[in-house]
Structure 1
């Protein structure tokens, strides 16, 4: 690929960050090795002092991992990336790398359950405090930031209520105060949204989801425009905490990236049709999807995203038992945690992915016990709609 030419996302997802493969192979090999050998002690010194790009040990780096990191760097328009064993390894390592005892982090009121637990239960054990806020109200953000605030962390769209936050505005306020902005871009993927171009400092992903796309990998990645930070994140945190991705998983993620653009177009097309169907259904009270014109964050989503993704949440008319009936009655959709797979997945967040939130305070976090979340898959959209229609006939 001509490195001096600006290529499309789809082209970069297949070719970026690589070169000629060994033995003229079309696909990159899996370097399934834990360690690498040296020619002599002089070679050791060059590698250990970073005078050479050669490898030492897969926990530090590996050619397959490096290719995945380079490709994610290109797609997110960053300067470097670090691959991790899981999305939570990426998120927790980034937070630990930017915070020290006495600091505080501001987070949005709606977060993925495990991220919420890290912020509210793990970090405080290391004397890092937190502030939970509605970050859609940017007018109040400046007041929340104090001299000990070092990080603002959020998802947009958020999990599971699809809340849209203004990346540019939040990043602008944070920059004035010297605060780093970390954004989980899992729902949107770099195909629909690139937070680093809007002012974010670090982007994290659960690569398990859309980047993989096939439900057969657990992995994470962090991307930044600060090369020195990426060096520190890799060698001071990923290596020392040990959350390394396996070469085989990196290879599977490279395979997934090849079809990311194609998949996201189809996912979104299906999701829009499903959202409109749910919106018109007599047994549905509310639909949360950024692509709907009356959705609260629709206009901001249009500005900072090139598409609206394939995650939908909704509330049925009735109570928790009615919501349970829906998720128990689907035949095509699968009752499961996770998202971003070819299969349509359905769940009750308060009982599954977000069960760590206090039940009596769910409303404060933008959640309800009866909220249903759907990861709209790649099946025939009419089949998905008919499945939901049947389940909603209670």
Structure 2
């Protein structure tokens, strides 16, 4: 079932996220009417022919628990096909390696997650001879200028990590379609609740399910959703046969469980993030706040146009020394220093301090300021979060 099926056409996102009716193992189909899809740990399934044939035979190729999650992911993104992977990077690398041949051409937004950047520059380019061209995708004409008849894939991340930049998905999708090139979007920061790349014209939506989709910081995973049958076949072959990068049944269960509360969590994440962003914007030791929901964000109009909300991710530039930033981090009681994001707990990261080997210095347009602080705002009480920051800031 997908969001396009007649039966669920009128259902709202919250209903799709809970997914009880869609995911139940109905007794008339040999199931036990579970409201929650059970965890199928079996690596293999009994073979039968004809009418008794089982759609699953080996869990690397297909597993009932994973199939339930993949159908749910497709519904949430409004796509026809979903695939669940062992990590977000597994989903990204599968997309790129399946759709871009050795010696091919890939155009990517220049502001991307550091893991994606290293994959593109050190693996895709060096080992497979792919011409990877980074462009400032905030301006669609830069993408258009980079694309030619040899381009195999356009890739973008929006909002970006950690600078919170946006790209115009619909405009870039139009460029991709004019050239008959697939266009993939990393939708991790927004989640399907706040942004629908496929509805805006993208061919592929990718997620690290580790983040908002699971939402509880207890599972590593990735996902791809697409409307394109041919793209799906290529990606499914790579997931199941080529790379074997599928998500385990237990992790599928965890993500399925997390998705049920995604709408409620995202609303709370956004409410808290907006309150934190406004507090920081008004503080005299904060030089700049990067949050698409603030009117001061240079792409606020685009955010309001293509997103239904702004998520819980923000970053800000601290006006002070690195020693003062360390003292600020050490003084926090609720915000935990950590490099992940999207969980119910609030995390804070200083990239130059905590992950200096991953900070990009590729170009002036993507340089991450030394004093940049990234916050994943959780779902604790708003007043407690604000007070924690207010007390710790010098």
Are positions 1:8 and 2:12 aligned together?
A: yes
Q: RMSD of aligned C-alpha atoms?
A: 1.9
CA distance in 2, matches of 1:105, 1:187: 22
The SS at the match of 1:365 is coil
Contact 1:102–1:148 under 8 Å retained in 2? no
CA distance in 2, matches of 1:169, 1:249: 35
User: 1:32 is matched with which residue?
Assistant: 41
After TM superposition, give the deviation of residue 200 of structure 1 in Å: 0.5
After TM superposition, give the deviation of residue 25 of structure 1 in Å: 2.5
The SS at the match of 2:365 is helix
The match for 1:262 among 246, 259, 264 is 264
Aligned pairs (5 A) from 1:85-234: 85-124=86-125, 125-234=127-236
Aligned length: 384
Aligned pairs (5 A) from 1:326-345: 326-345=328-347
Contact 2:211–2:217 under 8 Å retained in 1? yes
After TM superposition, give the deviation of residue 356 of structure 1 in Å: 2.6
Are positions 1:18 and 2:46 aligned together?
A: no
The SS at the match of 2:308 is coil
CA distance in 1, matches of 2:227, 2:360: 36
Contact 1:362–1:369 under 8 Å retained in 2? no
User: 1:315 is matched with which residue?
Assistant: 317
After TM superposition, give the deviation of residue 17 of structure 1 in Å: 4.2
| Alpha-carbon displacement from aligned partner over 1:47-96 (angstroms, at most 9, x marks no partner) | 9xxxx661011111111100100011011000101110000000000010
User: 1:288 is matched with which residue?
Assistant: 290
Aligned pairs (5 A) from 1:241-252: 241-252=243-254
After TM superposition, give the deviation of residue 242 of structure 1 in Å: 1.3
The SS at the match of 2:206 is strand
The SS at the match of 1:3 is helix
CA distance in 2, matches of 1:353, 1:91: 21
Unaligned stretches of 5+ residues in structure 1: none
CA distance in 2, matches of 1:129, 1:325: 43
Contact 2:216–2:258 under 8 Å retained in 1? yes
- Distance change in 2, residues 1:93/1:238 (3 Å): farther
The SS at the match of 1:198 is coil
The SS at the match of 2:198 is helix
User: 1:392 is matched with which residue?
Assistant: 393
CA distance in 2, matches of 1:275, 1:173: 34
After TM superposition, give the deviation of residue 363 of structure 1 in Å: 3.8
Contact 1:196–1:203 under 8 Å retained in 2? yes
- Distance change in 2, residues 1:351/1:98 (3 Å): farther
Task: Name whichever of 153-162 and 2-11 sits farther off.
Answer: 2-11
Contact 1:93–1:238 under 8 Å retained in 2? no
CA distance in 1, matches of 2:87, 2:35: 28
CA distance in 1, matches of 2:47, 2:346: 48
- Distance change in 2, residues 1:135/1:13 (3 Å): same
- Distance change in 2, residues 1:225/1:3 (3 Å): same
Contact 1:79–1:223 under 8 Å retained in 2? yes
- Distance change in 2, residues 1:4/1:348 (3 Å): closer
Contact 1:316–1:322 under 8 Å retained in 2? no
| Alpha-carbon displacement from aligned partner over 1:343-393 (angstroms, at most 9, x marks no partner) | 00000123445733455x564314212210000001111111111112212
- Distance change in 2, residues 1:143/1:5 (3 Å): closer
| Alpha-carbon displacement from aligned partner over 1:218-241 (angstroms, at most 9, x marks no partner) | 010000001232122112344321
| Alpha-carbon displacement from aligned partner over 1:283-331 (angstroms, at most 9, x marks no partner) | 1110000000110111001010100111010011123333333223211
CA distance in 2, matches of 1:369, 1:30: 45
